[in-house]
Copies of this chain bind each other. A is one copy, B any other.
């Protein structure tokens, strides 16, 4: 299985996703600055993947700090946590990953520095492993919803590349395939950053799962022709009521799916659920640079000085979501109840 985030011998490596699909290159992230830059510039992206990088990244920060005392260690890690927290605002997993490691630090307050770092490193390792195992469980639950022969629409990349490995939405696709079902994926190219074209198509082709690339504006027409049986996407933050923030365009698909009576599934780990947020209205939507809209690898595709907007995400209201597939099972409406139960609150 392709690993997007590696954590071995206290070294953190990632696939540089800005090099895909042309080149599969791993890079080591050896400092807080490199980690923050990798998240901001989307060398690593996908809510679960950046959560994992943030968790392991704090251990890198701890080691790099050369802290001699518990106070120095605490100061260094908390400062690194602040830097990494400020990279991107929307994905719940980023904050979850940081909180998990900061909790280890605080719980072990006063213990010898090396012991605390050892503990942090072990928890970060577990966090990454649990991401993969959780995706596999999610896949097994989710694939039961997929009919044999299904044509599945997905948006952006919620695959192995968006996680530590295996994937959320594409994990469900993989599990359906492993269960012997024949499925075919339509991958929205996902403007402006083309994660569908660059990443989803790449990773499905690599696994020999049939995939067809479409422009984002083609999905509706396919739905009308009866060529899409279900939609599965990932999510970046799920509110307590089931409203889900995900890559810009997901809401569009959800409205279209409803209009064509097509089920709309979200596949996401519980680390994406943020029960402190009552509804989608309270989710902060990142606005990214204008150049993502007006240029592709430096090539201008719009007039100089064009006014643009570039929200990275939108919010799909719970009422448009048929089910939320998690590693703890398939959650159904009313989500305020099923989410609270799954979250154990």
Contact = CB atoms under 8 A, between A and B. Distances in A.
Interface of A: 21-22, 155, 188-192, 194, 197-198, 201-202, 205, 210-221, 224, 248-249, 251-252, 255-256, 258-259, 293-294, 296-297, 299-311, 314-315
Contact of A251 (B210, B213, B221, B305): B221
B255 A294 contact: no
A224 B251 contact: yes
Nearest to A196: B302
Contact of A311 (B221, B252, B310): B221
Contacts of A307: 210-213
A290 to B, nearest CB: 9
Given A218-B314, A255-B259, 10 more contacts: A22-B300, A194-B302, A197-B302, A201-B302, A212-B309, A213-B306, A216-B216, A224-B251, A252-B252, A258-B259
Contacts of A301: 189, 194, 197-198, 296
Contact of A249 (B218, B224, B259): B218
Contacts of A300: 21-22
24 contacts: A188-B217, A189-B293, A191-B215, A201-B303, A205-B305, A205-B306, A210-B307, A211-B306, A212-B308, A212-B309, A216-B216, A217-B217, A218-B249, A218-B309, A220-B249, A221-B248, A221-B311, A252-B252, A252-B256, A255-B255, A255-B259, A256-B256, A296-B299, A296-B301
A314 B214 contact: no
A279 B223 CA distance: 19
Contacts of A315: 221
Given A213-B294, A215-B248, A21 B221 contact: no
Contacts of A216: 191, 215-217, 249
B191 A217 contact: yes
Given A217-B216, A248-B218, A198 B311 contact: no
Contacts of A211: 306-307
Contact of A214 (B189, B212, B309): B309
Contacts of A221: 248, 251-252, 311, 314-315
Nearest to A224: B251
Nearest to A258: B259
